[in-house]
Amino acid sequence: MSRLALVFTLLTLGGAPVRAQARDAVSAERVAARRRFADAKFGLFIHWGVYSQLGAGEWVMHNRKIAVADYESLAATFNPTKFDAATWVALARRAGVRYITITSRHHDGFSMFKTAQTPYNIVDWTAFKRDPLKELADACRADGLKLFFYYSQLDWHHPDYWPRGATAWDNGRPDHGDWSRYLAFMNAQLTELLTRYGAVGGIWFDGMWDKPDAPWQLDSTYALIHRLQPAALIIPNHHQQPRRGEDVQTFEQDLPGANTAGFNTSYVSGDLPLETSLTMNDSWGFNITDKDFKSVSLLVGYLVRAAGNGGNLLLNVGPRPDGTIGPEFAARLDSLGDWLGVYGTAIYGTRAGPVPPRSWGASTRRGDTVFVHVLDWPDPLLALPPLGAPVRTAYLLRGGAAVRFEATAAGVTLALPSAAAGEPDRVIVLVTGGRGPS
Ligand code: H79
């Protein structure tokens, strides 16, 4: 009996319920891919599709109760002649993201890639005739960026998405359909995405919350994905506790464990990588009237607090229908890249630090090096709880000036230098371990 089989047997012999994850035999490739994902810390989310043309977000078909036939006409006019994958990848690089996650098919059901499963795709349905996901996959590979595909399980267009879920409306579809054919359609599309675009980072599922109790047969879909690409991660945005076969726990518009959005779970996985997805304004898909853009310091705060919670930040842009990314998005991404150029060592490759996230900031760590991120603290002294290891030296990340500190049994007090103008995060580097300061 292999060691794995023995563990299985021991776990199940007692008859006690075993947590799903304990039964999940995770391949070495996925374990390594999860570690690389957690190291990456910062990704770029891209919501782009037929809906971008109406400039009212990716839910416009639902919100305006657009009939399938009318949306099909809209889809036929999608022609993003200014799309250039290399330009997007160059922006992503400047921003300092380590991966891109792009909508391959959103709830509107339109495939943004060449697919043999339906003519309702960008190559066969539009005058554009190009496959932007192929171009993006090639550009990402050339630049060493990982590419993930967002894939909606919910579909407002496909006749076999039946019975319909919570977001259904009378949009002209027949009142019948074949669910098993829908599952086969999805599995066939996923097979295309995992065999025609080289090695992908993984699949980011969304929309299962429309019919949480439907027979999704996730086990077989997940097994298919793991078989086709053993290092591809499954990132489900179902707002529930992670299930067997899944690799990352997501939080939509919230930091791990928080639920300001109203649909996240307070459960936080202790062993899976975490990811917070966040809009830069208030919309995922291009929204021409939404100018409610977050400031650069607020975005830095999200990146720092996500990392301090042990998670990644997946920050969204909604490109215009012509394929360009608006200046509000680009300027913020450039600024974040500039910030990471100085402070990135306190983010990339880190894990949650010894001080739990606080209202003043967060801590990250890499090995014996602890990074204290002071985002919002007006006083000259900052008291930390015990760090679990003596502090050998303390210095400011920017410039390297020594930081005075005092360690007692009750914790470590730092004497903070004042923040430079426009500095959203004062990062104090604590080198810990050994026998402590002499
Ligand atoms: O792609 C972006 C959004 O379009 C998609 N996820 C991000 C990344 C998303 N949209 N909405 N949601 C996720 C959550 C929606 C929840 C609700 Fe409902 C839809 C609340 C009310 C309508 C689910 C379905 C709960 C009730 C009905």
Name which residue sits closest to atom 2 of ligand 1, judged by CA: 284
| In contact, 124 and 64? CB cutoff 8 Å | no
Residue of 50, 52, 209, 316 with the most ligand 1 atoms within 8 Å of its CB, for mutation: 209
- Ligand 1 center to residue 289 CA distance, Å? 20
108 alpha carbon – ligand 1 mean position (Å)? 13
Q: Give the separation between CA 37 and CA 31, rounded to whole angstroms.
A: 10
**pLDDT in the model for residue 328:** 98
Q: What single DSSP character describes residue 195?
A: H
Whole-number Å distance, alpha carbon 120 to ligand 1 midpoint, is 23
Strands (E), 294-368: 311-317, 351-352, 361-366
DSSP 55: T
Contact of 299 with 356, CB cutoff 8 Å:
no
Residue 162 is which amino acid? W
Work out the number of other CB atoms within 10 angstroms of the CB of residue 223: 12
pLDDT at 18: 42
Ranges of residues in the chain whose predicted pLDDT is under 70:
1-23, 435-438
Can you give the pLDDT at residue 23?
55
d(CA 196, CA 174): 32
Atom of ligand 1 nearest to the CA of 59: 4
Instruction: Determine contact, residues 340/96, Cβ cutoff 8 Å.
Output: yes
Does ligand 1 come within 6 angstroms of the Cβ of 275? no
Q: Which of 254, 284, 314, 316 to mutate to test the pocket of ligand 1 (most atoms within 8 A of CB)?
A: 284
pLDDT recorded at residue 435: 56
Who's near 352: CB < 8 A, 6+ residues apart? 307, 308, 309, 310, 363, 364, 365
CA 264 to chain centre: 14
Q: How far apart are CA 131 and CA 115, in angstroms?
A: 10
Q: Which pLDDT does position 365 carry in this prediction?
A: 98
- d(CA 38, CA 30) in angstroms, rounded, equals 12
Per-state percent for the chain, helix, strand, coil, to nearest 5: 30, 20, 50
Nearest CA to ligand 1 atom 27: 166
Is 430 within 8 Å of 396 (Cβ atoms)?
no
Indicate if ligand 1 lies below 6 Å from the C-beta of 240.
Answer: no
Residue nearest to atom 6 of ligand 1 (CA): 206
- 232 touches 225 (CB < 8 A): yes
